Amino acid sequence: MNRQQQEIALRVAREVHNGKTKASAGRRLLSTEAKIPDGSAKIVIEVYQKMCEGSLFKRHLSRVDMTFFLQSFGGDGNAEELSRALDALRLHIRWRESDRVSQHGNREILAEQEARLADLLAEGVTSIAEVNREFQAKVALALVDNGDARRRRLAAAPRLPRKVAKLVYVYERSADVVAEVLAQSMGECNRCKRPAPFNRKSDGTPYLEVHHKILLSAGGDDSVENAEALCANCHRHRHFGVD
């Protein structure tokens, strides 16, 4: 298909997928409007449908058509939609390869599109520190607001918080660093030098928290040398207090 045919084919395949047009009417439209032979029209509509569902399609598309169709998924940062389309392509590749049909071209397309998917996913990712910073900025704003306005908002606010899923980066901290620093502390806070204020409910050991002197988010090492055991008060102080 040439570019113009591809665009018409995509539009019609979408309409069929959304239920706006019947598949048979879509095929007729493609042959009259875009001069796409009926057999090809049928294939395009079917493959597009399977891509939307993430299920196996048993039809062959040329490299340019395959790329064009996959490229239409994932607009507006919709990673899930692109991910499903790639599931469909993966199933197709596996199905062809089980019949020993080389899928070199499709594998290259898949790799390109997987890279695109990774970019889409990365755009939505934040960090816990960033989520906290955004919240603290809102608190600071709410504090300078006059009390009346704030109380009016409170009265009108839903009592149950909204729950949203966020994708965040987390550091995979070493459990050994934490254990070693706790063991070396002998139950004493490294800042105030007092014994841990209470023991853990779970195992009766002194409750101290392991803090990174140079924060991991600032590029600090996850090492015993860069870590210290602190009581909860001193830990908050290190993060938020004036020294």
- Contacts with Zn ion by CB under 5 A lie at 189, 191-192, 211, 231, 234
Q: CB of 227: closest distance to Zn ion in angstroms?
A: 9
In the complex with Zn ion, the residue whose CB is nearer, 117 or 208, is: 208
In the complex with Zn ion, the residue whose CB is nearer, 99 or 225, is: 225
Q: CB of 232: closest distance to Zn ion in angstroms?
A: 8
Alpha carbons within 13 angstroms on the beta-carbon side of residue 140 total 6
Angle, helix 3-17 to helix 63-71, in steps of 10 degrees: 50
Residue of 74, 20, 79, 63 whose CA lies nearest to 45? 20
Q: What are phi and psi of 92, to 5 degrees?
A: -60, -45
In the complex with Zn ion, the residue whose CB is nearer, 47 or 208, is: 208
In the complex with Zn ion, the residue whose CB is nearer, 63 or 135, is: 135
Q: CB of 168: closest distance to Zn ion in angstroms?
A: 17
Q: CB of 226: closest distance to Zn ion in angstroms?
A: 11
Alpha-carbon distances, residue 210 vs 29, 129, 131, 165, 188 (angstroms): 67, 17, 21, 27, 12
Element holding 184 (H helix, E strand)? helix 175-185
In the complex with Zn ion, the residue whose CB is nearer, 85 or 231, is: 231
Q: CB of 76: closest distance to Zn ion in angstroms?
A: 38
Q: CB of 128: closest distance to Zn ion in angstroms?
A: 12
Q: CB of 125: closest distance to Zn ion in angstroms?
A: 22
Alpha-carbon distances, residue 242 vs 138, 197, 236, 238 (angstroms): 21, 22, 11, 8
Gap between the Cα atoms of 209 and 170, Å rounded: 18
In the complex with Zn ion, the residue whose CB is nearer, 17 or 191, is: 191
Q: Are strands 209-212 and 227-230 parallel, antiparallel or unpaired?
A: antiparallel
In the complex with Zn ion, the residue whose CB is nearer, 30 or 234, is: 234
Are the beta carbons of 226 and 220 closer than 8 angstroms? yes
Q: Are strands 126-127 and 168-169 parallel, antiparallel or unpaired?
A: parallel
| CB burial string 213-225: b at 16+ within 10 A, e below | eeeeeeeeeeebe
